[in-house]
């Protein structure tokens, strides 16, 4: 993500390194904002009923994680749903994408439907699915599958369709079979694009789970946020939201790690790792 880029390398200047000075500025801006918020609230400029104080959010963290410890159950429920839906959606998306990608006829006839599907807010089907499948986990998972299958689908499709012409010609000149071309060229070539789709899918899966829980209002972190907001327990609602921020960050990092492992040739460390592995596998190559 290019927002991280373009941050200059740290350099020595005076006593503190630039990096340390910047860290201090970051921290003071952050703490300043928090303090400002707290003060405004205490002076009565911000209604604490709607805009909870940082101190009460902190207190709520302690409440929901340790004193009441009720967040764990909901977090667990949501995560299981997200994972199940994500895996289902990925299999569906990648499978369909490959199928459609390899078949020009299907591709042609499916195009209008894909356009329509792309324009429809897929999450909008949530109430319909709940009505059709009833309350409970199955309809939630169906919603998640539906919202997260699209990115892997489109990316697999485009990855499979956009194979480099020259490489295809190379494989033809080597007399490679269709299956070999698929296994040794088309699929590996599509992997980075598919992984990019998977990243989007996991984020979408979390959003899908939240919406499903908003509607069903039984359990899960989404219903917890809804209930807290309804009761105007905004501090706890915010504590849940920040929990999701941390979760989102972990998901982001986790997918990044996975991406680096799977599309190893796109990063230096991955190439080194695989090169060492191959060298060990092949052993002595001297004649």
Judged by CB under 8 A, the chain residues 26 through 65 that form the site for other proteins are: 26, 29, 50
- Choice between 82 and 137, CB closer to other proteins: 82
- Choice between 65 and 252, CB closer to other proteins: 252
The tally of CA atoms less than 13 A away on the side-chain side of residue 155 is 23
Where do the DSSP E strands lie in the chain?
none
Binding mask 68-87 for other proteins (x = CB under 8 A): --------------------
Binding to other proteins (CB under 8 A) within 170-199 occurs at 170-177, 180, 184-185, 188-189, 191
Q: How far apart are CA 120 and CA 122, in angstroms?
A: 5
CA dist list (Å): 265 to 3, 19, 163, 167, 269 = 23, 31, 17, 17, 9
Q: Choose, by CB under 8 A, the member of 94, 201, 234, 235 that binds other proteins.
A: 234
CB-based contact 225:60 (threshold 8 Å): no
Considering only the stretches 9-17, 35-43, 54-62, 169-177, report the one whose residues sit in contact with other proteins under the rule CB under 8 A.
Answer: 169-177
String of DSSP letters for 55-89? HHHHHHHHIIIIIS--HHHHHHHHHHHHHHHHHHH
For the bound state, the minimum distance from the C-beta of residue 234 to other proteins, rounded and expressed in Å, comes to 7
By rule CB under 8 A, what count of residues binds other proteins?
85
- Tokens representing 264 are 């190893």
For the bound state, the minimum distance from the C-beta of residue 43 to other proteins, rounded and expressed in Å, comes to 20
Q: Choose, by CB under 8 A, the member of 31, 36, 39, 132 that binds other proteins.
A: 132
Q: Choose, by CB under 8 A, the member of 245, 254, 256, 257 that binds other proteins.
A: 245
Binding to other proteins (CB under 8 A) within 111-130 occurs at 112, 116, 118-121, 123-128, 130
Phi, psi of 236 (to 5 degrees): -70, -40
Measured over all CA atoms, what is the biggest interatomic distance in the chain, rounded to whole angstroms?
83
- Choice between 103 and 180, CB closer to other proteins: 180
For the bound state, the minimum distance from the C-beta of residue 170 to other proteins, rounded and expressed in Å, comes to 5
- Tokens representing 193 are 């694009």
For the bound state, the minimum distance from the C-beta of residue 274 to other proteins, rounded and expressed in Å, comes to 7
Binding to other proteins (CB under 8 A) within 197-216 occurs at 203, 206-207, 210-211, 214-215
The number of beta carbons lying within 10 Å of the beta carbon of residue 202 is 23
- Choice between 42 and 108, CB closer to other proteins: 108
CB-based contact 261:270 (threshold 8 Å): yes
SS3 content of the chain, % helix, strand, coil (to 5): 80, 0, 20
Going 65 to 71 to 72 to 73, the CA torsion angle's sign is: positive
Applying CB under 8 A, does 7 fall inside the site for other proteins? yes
For the bound state, the minimum distance from the C-beta of residue 58 to other proteins, rounded and expressed in Å, comes to 17
């Amino acid at each position: 993500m290019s927002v991280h880029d373009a941050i200059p390398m740290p350099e020595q200047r005076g006593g503190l390194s630039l990096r340390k000075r910047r860290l201090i500025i970051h921290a003071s801006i952050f703490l300043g904002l928090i303090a400002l918020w707290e003060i405004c609230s205490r002076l009565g400029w911000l209604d604490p009923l709607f805009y909870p104080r940082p101190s009460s959010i902190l207190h709520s963290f302690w409440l929901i994680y340790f004193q009441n410890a009720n967040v764990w159950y909901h977090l667990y429920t949501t995560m299981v749903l997200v994972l199940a839906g994500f895996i289902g959606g990925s299999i569906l998306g990648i499978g369909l994408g490959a199928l459609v990608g390899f078949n020009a006829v299907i591709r042609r006839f499916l195009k209008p439907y894909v356009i329509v599907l792309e324009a429809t807010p897929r999450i909008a089907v949530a109430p319909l699915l709940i009505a059709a499948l009833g309350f409970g986990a199955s309809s939630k998972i169906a919603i998640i599958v539906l919202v997260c299958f699209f990115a892997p689908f489109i990316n697999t499709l485009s990855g499979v369709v956009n194979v480099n012409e020259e490489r295809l010609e190379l494989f033809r000149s080597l007399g490679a079979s269709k299956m070999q071309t698929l296994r040794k060229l088309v699929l590996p070539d599509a992997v980075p694009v598919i992984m990019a789709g998977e990243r989007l899918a996991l984020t979408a899966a979390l959003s899908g789970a939240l919406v499903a829980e908003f509607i069903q209002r039984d359990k899960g972190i989404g219903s917890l946020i809804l209930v807290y907001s309804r009761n105007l327990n905004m501090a706890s609602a915010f504590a849940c939201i920040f929990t999701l921020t941390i979760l989102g960050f972990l998901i982001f990092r986790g997918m990044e790690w996975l991406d680096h492992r799977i599309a190893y040739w796109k990063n230096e460390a991955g190439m080194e790792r695989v090169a060492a592995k191959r060298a060990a596998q092949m052993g002595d190559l001297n004649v």
